[in-house]
Amino acid sequence: MTEESAMGAEARKRPVAQSPGSGLKPAQRARYLRIVDSAKQLASEGGYDAVQMRAVADRSGVALGTVYRYFPSKNQLLVVAMVTQFEEVGEYFSGADLPGDTPHERIMGVLRASVSRLEQDPRQYDALVRAVMFADASSAPELDRLGQVLTELFAKSAGIEIVTEEVLNAVRIVADVWMSTLVAWANGRQSAEGVLAHMDTAVRLVFDRLERLQRAG
């Protein structure tokens, strides 16, 4: 909806979500980050169920009430964790020019990298993906932020400068397929290779059309 500068190390816009843990004093920001980090660690170790709020509090060296001061629920905490993970991926790929001659190839490069991340820590991503998909309306800002991070990532990987409405729609479709496929991967109905094969089809579909449109227009 509202346009984005599509990068900007410092976010300072009010209308929509920004990188989490921003307007906090140092000590608070440290606590905030420790809590998110503990959640990720516990997720890595034992998946969604192992992320127990008491355990998060313990590991963060913080009282249970404090966890709830920063995050209104376990699920929102995990959604924030997911956002930070994808932000990391986004930053990782933000500078470099990606190899590959077509948008399709470049996006698939990013996806291959992402899938290998998933495979290194299946429990964690199982927990995060399920939390994101389970999230209710109260997580809407974080979910919007996640969508924004994803679409930016794909749009940038594609190497498309002018992000028209057409491009945005296309990229959103790729992101949707990506999330659905992650769910299938998380609950074991789809292998890592299956994920990549499926995404390959989807990306080809979407960007074939874009190329045609751009050649025509």
Partner DNA sequence: GCAGAAAATGTAACGCGTTCTACCTCTGGA
Partner DNA sequence: TCCAGAGGTAGAACGCGTTACATTTTCTGC
The listed partner (DNA, a copy of itself, none) that binds 180, CB under 5 to 8 Å by sort, is a copy of itself
Is there binding between residue 176 and a copy of itself (CB under 8 A)? yes
**Does 123 sit near DNA (CB under 7 A)?**
no
Residue 111 touching a copy of itself (CB under 8 A): no
- Within 41-70, the residues that bind a copy of itself by CB under 8 A are 48
Residue of 74, 123, 172, 204 interacting with DNA (CB under 7 A): 74
Dump the DSSP string for the chain.
Answer: -----S--SS---SSS--SSS-S--HHHHHHHHHHHHHHHHHHHHHHHHH--HHHHHHHHTS-HHHHHHH-SSHHHHHHHHHHHHHHHHHHHHHSSPPP-SSHHHHHHHHHHHHHHHHHH-HHHHHHHHHHHHH--GGGHHHHHHHHHHHHHHHHHHHT-SS--HHHHHHHHHHHHHHHHHHHHHHTTSS-HHHHHHHHHHHHHHHHHHHHHHHHH-
104 contributes a contact to DNA by CB under 7 A: no
Which residue of 139, 148, 151, 157 would you call a contact of a copy of itself, by CB under 8 A?
139
Which of a copy of itself, DNA, none does residue 9 bind to, with CB < 5 to 8 Å depending on kind?
none
For the segment 53-72, give every residue that binds DNA (CB under 7 A): 53-54, 61-66, 68-70, 72
Number of residues that bind a copy of itself (CB under 8 A): 38
Q: Which of 176, 194, 181 is nearest to 125 (CA)?
A: 181
- Binding to DNA (CB under 7 A): which residues in 15-34? 25, 27-28, 31
Query: What minimum distance in Å lies between the beta carbon of 179 and DNA?
Result: 22
List 107, 108, 111, 170, residue binding a copy of itself (CB under 8 A): 170
